[in-house]
């Protein structure tokens, strides 16, 4: 069974605030390619994994890690399975973002 989390990233408005009231940071690299820092650990870069949410500096999909969480794996086990490239702080950030997206979707459904 695969947890369907990848689709929610497109439902978050471009100028949406995160839980701390800040707008996701938009960056341009030397070639003018725009990417978004969705938090301290999660980014969306069109050059990496077709713009899907990944953990900064990796090609590890946020959805894959959330699937591991959903299957009950411990955060330490998850971090080790990615050779330490995904920290507990990064996992926590991904879970908070998934929760926010779920709640935002529920609000849209309730008012739609």
Question: How many distinct structural domains can be found in the chain?
Answer: 1
- Rounded to whole angstroms, the Cα distance separating 25 from 67 reads 26
Q: Reduce the DSSP state of residue 11 to 3 states and report it.
A: helix
Residue 54, CA distances (Å) to 96, 107, 109, 112 in order: 15, 26, 27, 30
Give the SS3 label for residue 53: strand
Compute the mean pLDDT over every residue in the chain, rounded to the nearest whole number: 79
Classify residue 35: in a domain, yes or no. Answer: yes
Average pLDDT estimate for 18-29: 53
Does the model's pTM come out above 0.85? no
Q: How far is CA 66 from the centre of its chain?
A: 9
pLDDT at 93 over 50: yes
Whether pLDDT at 23 is above 70: no
Instruction: Find the domain containing 35 and state its range.
Output: 6-111
The mean pLDDT value for 10-38 works out to 55
pLDDT band at 50 (very low <50, low <70, confident <90, very high): very high
Residue 1 lies in a domain: no
Q: Which residues contact 40 (CB under 8 A, 6 or more apart)?
A: 56, 89, 93
Structural domain includes residue 28: yes
The CATH number of whichever domain residue 93 belongs to comes to 1.10.10.10
Beta strands in 8-101 (DSSP E): 25-28, 34-37, 42-44, 53-55
pLDDT on residue 9: 42
């Amino acid at each position: 069974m695969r947890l369907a989390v990848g689709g929610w990233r497109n439902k978050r408005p471009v100028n949406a605030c995160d839980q701390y009231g800040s707008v996701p940071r938009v960056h341009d690299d030397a070639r003018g390619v725009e990417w978004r820092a969705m938090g301290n650990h999660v980014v969306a870069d069109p050059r990496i994994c077709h713009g899907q949410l990944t953990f900064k500096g990796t090609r590890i999909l946020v959805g894959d890690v959330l699937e591991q969480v959903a299957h009950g794996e411990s955060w330490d086990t998850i971090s080790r399975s990615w050779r330490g490239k995904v920290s507990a702080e990064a996992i926590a950030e991904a879970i908070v973002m998934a929760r926010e997206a779920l709640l935002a979707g529920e609000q849209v459904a309730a008012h739609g």
